[in-house]
Amino acid sequence: MMLTGKVAIVTGSTQGLGLDIARQLLDEGARVMLAGRSAETGQALAAELGCGFCVCDVERDDEIDACIAATLACYGRLDILVNNACLYADQGLASDRAQWLKTLNVNLVSAAIFTQKVAVHLPDGGVVINVGSTGGKFGAAGRALYPASKAGILQLTKNLAVSLAPAGVRVLSVSPAWTWSPSVAEFSGNDLELADQVGAPFHPLGRIGRGHEVGTVIAFLCSAGASWMTGVDVPVDGGFSILGPDRGVSPRIWFEQQREQQ
C-alpha cells in the first residue's frame, strides 16, 4: 500500500489505460477522483470502485477548476495528478489545422493547464505524471498529430520538473509501447492473443503490454520509493525502445530469410 493517505486525480480515466491506472492507484491505497466526459459511465465506475468521479472535459478550464475543487472538497487534499486524457485520431500529413489544434489542445496543452491549476494545491512531495508514448520518440508513416503531441509531453515534463522542483513537487512521464486498450482491441477484433502475436516482433518480451503494468509503475513513481526521481521519462514498453529498425535481428538472419523467400 505505497500510496495510503494520498489523493489523486486521473484524467481520461473512465476507460482504457486511464481506468487501469486509476485501479492500480486505488490498489496501492490512494483515494482517486476519476475525471472523464461520460457522467453515466463515470458514476457507475465510481460506485463500483469506491472512488470519486467528476465530469471533466480537459479542454474546458472551468471544468478543470471544478474537478480540482470537487477533489479538495471530497478528500481535503490533493497529492497526485495523472495527465492521461488523450486523442488518438491522426491523418498524418492530410490533417487540417482544426485537427492539429484539437489534438494538441487535448494531448498537450490541457496537461500543461491542468498542471498549472493543480500545482498551487500540491504539497511538498506532490507528483505529476504525464502519460507519454513510444510514439513520441520515433518516426511513423501516416501519423503526425499523436506523435508530435507525445513528443511535446516528454519535453513539457522536463520543463515542469525544473519549475516545480523548488516546491518539492516531482514531475515524470511514463511511455508505454503497444498496450491492450480500446484502440488495440478494435484493431484485433477484441482478440488479446492475436494482439500479442502481432506485437511480439516489436517487443523483446514477446507480447504487448497490459494496462495494469503501466499503472503499477505509475504507482511506484508516485510513492516515496521514487522520491529522488524527477524530470525523466520511464519507458514501460516491453523493450520496444531498445530495438532499431532491424528489430534486434542480425543482418545474417535477414539475408537468410530473403534467400528463403526467393
- Could you tell me if residue 214 is inside a domain? yes
pLDDT at res. 254: 82
Q: Are 151 and 136 in contact (CB under 8 A)?
A: yes
- Could you tell me if residue 175 is inside a domain? yes
CATH number at residue 32: 3.40.50.720
When computed from its CA atoms, the radius of gyration of the chain, rounded to whole angstroms, is 19
Q: Are 45 and 94 in contact (CB under 8 A)?
A: no
Higher pLDDT, 102 or 251: 102
Domain limits at 195? 7-261
- Could you tell me if residue 97 is inside a domain? yes
- Could you tell me if residue 63 is inside a domain? yes
- Could you tell me if residue 49 is inside a domain? yes
Average pLDDT of the chain, as a whole number: 96
Q: How confident is the model at residue 251 (pLDDT cuts 50, 70, 90)?
A: confident
- Residue numbers annotated as active site: 146
- Could you tell me if residue 2 is inside a domain? no
pLDDT at res. 262: 81
Is residue 116 over pLDDT 90? yes
- Could you tell me if residue 29 is inside a domain? yes
* Structural domains counted in the chain: 1
C-alpha dist (Å) from residue 105 to 23, 198, 237: 26, 32, 25
pLDDT at res. 125: 98
Pairing state between β 127-131 and 7-11: unpaired
Taking the C-alpha atoms of residue 190 and residue 167, their distance in angstroms, rounded to an integer, is: 44
Strand partners, 53: 34
Taking the C-alpha atoms of residue 132 and residue 156, their distance in angstroms, rounded to an integer, is: 10
DSSP annotation of 122: P
pLDDT at res. 232: 98
Pairing state between β 127-131 and 80-83: parallel
Q: CB 46: neighbour CB atoms within 10 A?
A: 18
- Could you tell me if residue 18 is inside a domain? yes
What is the arithmetic mean of pLDDT over 123-140? 96
Q: Which residue matches cell numbers 492473443?
A: 193
Taking the C-alpha atoms of residue 232 and residue 188, their distance in angstroms, rounded to an integer, is: 32
Q: For residue 3, give the nearest of 20, 22, 19, 16 by alpha carbon.
A: 22
Q: For residue 21, give the nearest of 64, 78, 83 by alpha carbon.
A: 83
H-helix or E-strand spanning residue 2: none
pLDDT digits (tens, 9 = 90+) for 170-221: 999 999 999 999 989 999 999 999 999 999 999 999 999 999 999 999 999 9
